[in-house]
């Protein structure tokens, strides 16, 4: 699947890809979050358990407090929800 990059005029453009005039100046995929030099490959638009960043997220709180574990659970839920919103037909 090809990347879907942020373009001028899109709603919700992350500030990190805008210049001081509000123009999109950096390539960033709306779906997978890959940018610039990572855009050579296809878009990885799937949210699956076992992906490296989920493993790292879980490892950060393996011996954490209950508040830290709850925070990671909230982040995982937000990621899952965002993925569903990005991949469902409009």
Q: From the CA atom positions of the chain, what is the Rg in Å?
A: 16
How confident is the model over 11-25, as pLDDT tens digits?
888 888 899 999 999
Using a cut of 0.75, tell me whether the model's pTM lies above it: no
Q: What is the 3-state secondary structure (H, E, C) of the chain?
A: CCCCECCCCCCCCCHHHECCCCCECCCEECCCCCEHHHHHCCCCCCCCCCCHHHHHHHHHCCCCCHHHHHHHHHHHHHHHHHHHHHHCCC
Kindly report, residue by residue over 25-59, the tens digit of the pLDDT: 988 888 777 788 777 777 776 666 666 677 777 78
Closest CA to 41 of 5, 83, 1: 1
Return d(Cα 56, Cα 15) in angstroms, integer.
Answer: 26
Per-residue confidence (pLDDT) for residue 88, from 0 to 100: 61
């Amino acid at each position: 699947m090809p990347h879907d990059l942020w373009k001028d005029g899109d709603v919700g453009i992350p500030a990190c890809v805008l210049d001081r005039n509000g123009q999109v100046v950096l390539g960033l995929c709306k779906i997978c979050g890959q940018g610039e030099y990572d855009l050579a490959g296809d878009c990885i638009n799937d949210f699956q358990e076992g992906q490296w960043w989920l493993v790292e997220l879980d490892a950060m709180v393996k011996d954490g407090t209950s508040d830290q574990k709850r925070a990671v659970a909230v982040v995982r839920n937000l990621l899952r929800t965002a993925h569903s919103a990005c991949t469902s037909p409009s």
